Amino acid sequence: MLIETFIRKQLRLKAHTVTKVEEAGECMRVHIDRLGQRLLRCGVCRRRCSQVHDIRKEREWRDLSMRKLPLKLRYRPRRVECPRCGVRVEDFPWAEPWARVTTALFNAVAMLARELSWQGTARQYGLNWKSVATIVKRAVEYGLRHRARPTVRVIGMDEVSRRKGQVYLTVVYDLERRVLLWVGGDRTEEAVKPFFTKEMGTRRCHTLRVVCMDMWAPYANLVREYATHAQILFDRFHIVKHLNEAVEEVRRSEMRRLSLKERVVFKRSRWLLLKNPWNLNPGQKERLSTLVRWNVPIVRAYYLKESFQLFWDYKQCKRAETHLQKWMTSAMRSRLDPFKRFVRMLRSHLDGVLPWTRIRLSNAAVEGMNNKIKSISHRSFGFRTATNFIAAIYHCCARLPLLVER
Ligand SMILES: [Zn+2]
C-alpha cells in the first residue's frame, strides 16, 4: 500500500485526498488537496455546500507520529457558501475548526494529561507546555458542554486547599455515581452559589435528597436556600476530625505543663491517643496505661473521644440521640475547653448530625477524590493559577467525554 493511501484511509478522507508525503527533516509532511469536485461541508453547520467561495492560504496541523516522525498535514482551506451560514471556512474531517492539531493528537494528549503532569505530557509528545494547557482547557470546555446530566440525588461538598491552605476551592461530587460535578474558585457563599443557580438550576435542585458536608455555614446556608428538599448531613469524617483536634489540643497544653522527665513518656503519644484501642501493640498499651496513671486531663479527653465514637454504631435514631445528649452533657462537665467548644459546635448543628442513623452516608468517596486532586496538584508542583488547577481537576475527576473522531 502506498503511504499516501494509508494516510488517506487513516484520516478517513472522503472529499479530500493525500497528494504527496515527503520527509522534511524532523517530520513527515503530508500534503492534502480537495478530491475532484466532491462537495465540501460548512465548518459551522456541517451541511454540504455546492459553491466554493475562495481558497485561503496554506495551514498546518500537527498529527500523531509515525515511528518517531511527527506527521504534519498541510492544506489550503476553502471557504464555502453555505445556504444557512453564508461564507464560512469548510469543515475539516481531521480537526476542529479552531485546532492546530488533529483530533487524533488532541485526544491522545488529553488522555495522557489525565495521568501525567502537563509538563510531562508535553515532553512525551514533543509539544510545549502551553499547547498542552490549551488542549486540556479545550477538552474540558467540550466535555462540560457534552457530558451526560443524569438526575442527581446525593451530593458531597468539600473544600480543597491550594497553596498550602491560603486559597480554597469548593468541589461538589455526585456521591451515587462517584463523579465530580463542579469546582468553584473559593469556599464563600458568593463563590459556591453558581453551583445551585447555574450548574444545577431550580429544576435539578429539587431532586437533591442528601447533601453531605463539613460544618461550614456558607454551604449549609446555600442548601437551605436553593435545595429545600435536601437533608443536610454533616459528614462523619469531618466530625471525627474536629473531635481529634480537640484531643490533640488537650494533649499539647498538658505537654506544656509537664516536667522534662515526664515529657519523655508523652513524646509521640499523639497516635497512641488517636488510634483505636484494639489496634495497639503491648508496648503501646503499656505506655497508654502509664499515661492513664499520670495524667488526668489527657485521659479524660481520650475516654471522651472513645465514647463519642459509639454514636456511629446505633441503629435506632432515638437511642443514638440519647447517647449523644448524654455524651454532650458529660463533655461539658469535663473541664476541657477544646471539648466544650466541640460540643457547642455539635449542638448548633444537631439537625445535620443526627440524620446519620437514618442515612449512613459519608464523604468517604469524597476523601478519595480529594486525595486524587492533591496528587494532581503535587505532580505539577502546584498550579500557579486557579483557572489551570480547576481545568485539571475537571479533566481528571469529572469523567468528561472526549472529542469524537470522525
Ligand atoms: Zn452552514
> For the residues 261-281, what does the mean pLDDT come to?
74
DSSP-based three-state secondary structure for 302: helix
pLDDT band at 266, cuts 50/70/90?
Answer: low
Question: How many whole angstroms from 90 Cα to the centroid of ligand 1?
Answer: 9
Average pLDDT, the chain: 91
- Residue 221 gets the label, from left (phi > 0), alpha (psi -120 to 50) or beta, of alpha
Angle between helices 296-308 and 337-348 (to 10 degrees): 20
Could you read off the pLDDT of 53-83 as tens digits, one per residue? 999 999 999 999 998 899 999 999 999 999 9
pLDDT band at 265, cuts 50/70/90?
Answer: low
For the cut 70, the answer to whether the pLDDT of residue 125 exceeds it is yes
Question: How many whole angstroms from 369 Cα to the centroid of ligand 1?
Answer: 42
Could you read off the pLDDT of 186-235 as tens digits, one per residue? 999 999 999 999 999 999 999 999 999 999 999 999 999 999 999 999 99
Q: What's residue 223's pLDDT?
A: 95
Q: What's residue 273's pLDDT?
A: 75
Q: What's residue 287's pLDDT?
A: 79
Question: How many whole angstroms from 46 Cα to the centroid of ligand 1?
Answer: 6
User: What's the rounded Cα separation, in Å, for the pair 114 and 109?
Assistant: 9
For the cut 70, the answer to whether the pLDDT of residue 124 exceeds it is yes
Question: How many whole angstroms from 81 Cα to the centroid of ligand 1?
Answer: 8
With residue 368 as reference, give the H or E element that holds it: helix 364-379
User: What's the rounded Cα separation, in Å, for the pair 174 and 178?
Assistant: 5
What are phi and psi for residue 169, nearest 5 degrees?
Answer: -120, 155
Which cell numbers hold the place of 9? 484511509
For the cut 90, the answer to whether the pLDDT of residue 130 exceeds it is yes
Question: How many whole angstroms from 220 Cα to the centroid of ligand 1?
Answer: 47
For the cut 90, the answer to whether the pLDDT of residue 363 exceeds it is no
DSSP-based three-state secondary structure for 228: coil
For the cut 90, the answer to whether the pLDDT of residue 288 exceeds it is no
Question: How many whole angstroms from 73 Cα to the centroid of ligand 1?
Answer: 24
Question: How many whole angstroms from 339 Cα to the centroid of ligand 1?
Answer: 68
Q: What's residue 297's pLDDT?
A: 86
> For the residues 306-335, what does the mean pLDDT come to?
93
> For the residues 328-352, what does the mean pLDDT come to?
93
For the cut 90, the answer to whether the pLDDT of residue 255 exceeds it is no
Q: What's residue 302's pLDDT?
A: 87
Question: How many whole angstroms from 50 Cα to the centroid of ligand 1?
Answer: 12
> For the residues 116-143, what does the mean pLDDT come to?
95
- Residue 39 gets the label, from left (phi > 0), alpha (psi -120 to 50) or beta, of beta
For the cut 70, the answer to whether the pLDDT of residue 261 exceeds it is no
> For the residues 364-372, what does the mean pLDDT come to?
82
Which cell numbers hold the place of 87? 461564507
The C-alpha cell 474536629 sits at: 242
- Closest Cα partner for 149 from 122, 123, 181? 181
Instruction: Average the pLDDT over each of 91-100, 346-355, 365-374 and give the range with the smallest value.
Output: 365-374
Question: How many whole angstroms from 406 Cα to the centroid of ligand 1?
Answer: 18
Could you read off the pLDDT of 39-54 as tens digits, one per residue? 999 999 999 999 999 9
pLDDT band at 276, cuts 50/70/90?
Answer: confident
Burial 142-157 (b: 16+ CB within 10 A, else e): bbeeeeeeeebebbbb
- Closest Cα partner for 135 from 113, 119, 115? 113
Helix count and strand count (H, E) for the chain: 18, 14
For ligand 1, an ion, list residues with CB under 5 A: 42, 44-45, 82, 84-85
Question: How many whole angstroms from 12 Cα to the centroid of ligand 1?
Answer: 22
Instruction: Give the alpha-carbon dihedral of 288, 289, 294, 297, to 10 degrees.
Output: 60
Which cell numbers hold the place of 336? 476541657
Whats the size of the chain, residue-wise?
406
Q: What's residue 278's pLDDT?
A: 80
How would DSSP label each residue in 95-115?
S-TT-SB-HHHHHHHHHHTTT
User: What's the rounded Cα separation, in Å, for the pair 31 and 13?
Assistant: 13
pLDDT band at 127, cuts 50/70/90?
Answer: very high
**Structural contact between residues 99 and 61, judged by C-beta atoms closer than 8 angstroms:** yes
pTM of the entire structure? 0.85
The C-alpha cell 510531562 sits at: 120
User: What's the rounded Cα separation, in Å, for the pair 292 and 273?
Assistant: 11
Question: How many whole angstroms from 39 Cα to the centroid of ligand 1?
Answer: 13
Q: What's residue 165's pLDDT?
A: 67
Question: How many whole angstroms from 19 Cα to the centroid of ligand 1?
Answer: 27
